[in-house]
Chain A
Amino acid sequence: MSPRSRSSTAARVQAHAPVFAALGDKTRLSLVARLADGRPHSISQLTAGSRLTRQAITKHLRVLESAGMVHSSREGRESLFELSPQPIKGIREYLDLVSEQWDQALSRLKSFVED
């Protein structure tokens, strides 16, 4: 692992840890799935068909919002929530980096045992 990619990995871990954490919950996953149509949804729409209360759904939406995965806007008296695709793309890049670090470590292992 080169120092440069390592330090950028550190920055990425910092940036993406909340995204991984935000996705590590079934309710939030299903909210993200419902928001995946790319359109803004009200809390009432997102609560419909769920066994959870409006308050609980709102709390999960705020977690997603603080991880940068959704953003909200107001329309009249209602808050509308919309998905931000960037953090999910970021995760892919993060996994690519971890993958690359392993390539480098394993190639050092190869020279180590074959020499």
Chain B
Amino acid sequence: MENRIEKRIELKAPVSRVWRALTDYREFGEWFRVKLESPFVPGQVARGQITHPGYEHVKWEAVVQKMEPERLFSFTWHPYAVDPKIDYSKETPTLIEFRLEKSESGTLLVLTESGFNKIPSERRLEAFRMNDGGWKAQMKNIESHVAQKP
């Protein structure tokens, strides 16, 4: 078990359609609920304003990493950096990856978020075993949580 979140979701739409929904900055903004200033460009910061009701004052920022057409879209960010009083820039960002694959019903989308500031690897986790369950059991909970909600 790693320090990452993985989601797999089947979408009844062609890969090209999903790719556009992910990488066109206006379409991304529609479902992600953020109003972005400009198109995504690898290596550049993407900025915008959250449009989720009640959170319109929150700024959104990510650094686009890779855009491999219809295969991989990735960026780094500080997850849920919503408190303007906190300087999140000193924290290690997490990496978000959207991977697309053609499937029978349309597209298989695999999302991962990894690098929660170097949470220890599985062997390290063993060392955290404690009376009330410990890391390993807790990480299992996450696995089943993720499995229940594909």
> Which residues from chain A sit less than 8 Å from chain B, CB to CB?
1, 3, 6-7, 9-10, 13-14, 17, 20-21, 23-24, 29, 32-33, 36, 38, 83, 85, 88-89, 91-92, 95-96, 98-103, 105-106, 108-114
Contacts and interface: CB of A to CB of B under 8 A. Distances in A.
A97 to B, nearest CB: 8
A3 B113 contact: no
Given A9-B80, A23-B118, 6 more contacts: A17-B117, A29-B120, A85-B130, A91-B116, A108-B32, A109-B18
Interface of B: 5, 7, 9, 11-13, 17-18, 21-22, 27, 30-33, 52-55, 79-83, 86, 88, 91-92, 109, 111, 113, 116-120, 124, 127-132, 134-135, 138-139, 141-142, 145-146, 149
Nearest to A102: B7
Contacts of B18: 109, 113
